[in-house]
C-alpha cells in the first residue's frame, strides 16, 4: 500500500477517535496528585501526540526516499 494512502487513513482514524473522545468523555476535572486534569483534554492531547508521531514518521520516509533517489542518480 502507498505510504501516502496509509497517512490519509491514519489521519481519518485519528479524527474519528477525536470525535468519539469529544462526544463520550465528560470535561469534568479529576485530581491527579496536586493537579486537576480534564479527562477529555488529556485524552485528546494523547491522540494528538500519536498523530504528530505519525506525521514525523511519514516525513522521515519521504526524506529517505528523496535521499535514495539522489543516491541512485549520483
Q: Are strands 29-32 and 35-38 parallel, antiparallel or unpaired?
A: antiparallel
Number of domains composing the chain: 1
Domain annotation covers residue 49: yes
32 beta partners = 35
Q: What is the mean pLDDT of the chain?
A: 92
> For residue 11, what are the domain limits?
3-62
The string of pLDDT tens digits covering residues 13-27 is 999 999 999 999 988
Tell whether pTM > 0.95.
no
Give the per-residue pLDDT at 31: 92
Residues with Cβ within 8 Å of 27's Cβ and at least 6 positions away in sequence, in order, are 38, 39, 40, 41
With contact defined as beta carbons under 8 Å apart, do 51 and 11 qualify?
A: yes
For 9, 17, 37, 55, the CA distances from 14, given in Å and listed in that order, are 9, 5, 22, 12
Amino acid at each position: 500500500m502507498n505510504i501516502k494512502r496509509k497517512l490519509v487513513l491514519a489521519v481519518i482514524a485519528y479524527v474519528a477517535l477525536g470525535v468519539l473522545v469529544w462526544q463520550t468523555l465528560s470535561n469534568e476535572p479529576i485530581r491527579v496528585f496536586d493537579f486537576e486534569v480534564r479527562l477529555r483534554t488529556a485524552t485528546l492531547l494523547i491522540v494528538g501526540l500519536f498523530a504528530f508521531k505519525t506525521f514525523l514518521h511519514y516525513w522521515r520516509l519521504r526524506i529517505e526516499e528523496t535521499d535514495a533517489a539522489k543516491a541512485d542518480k549520483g
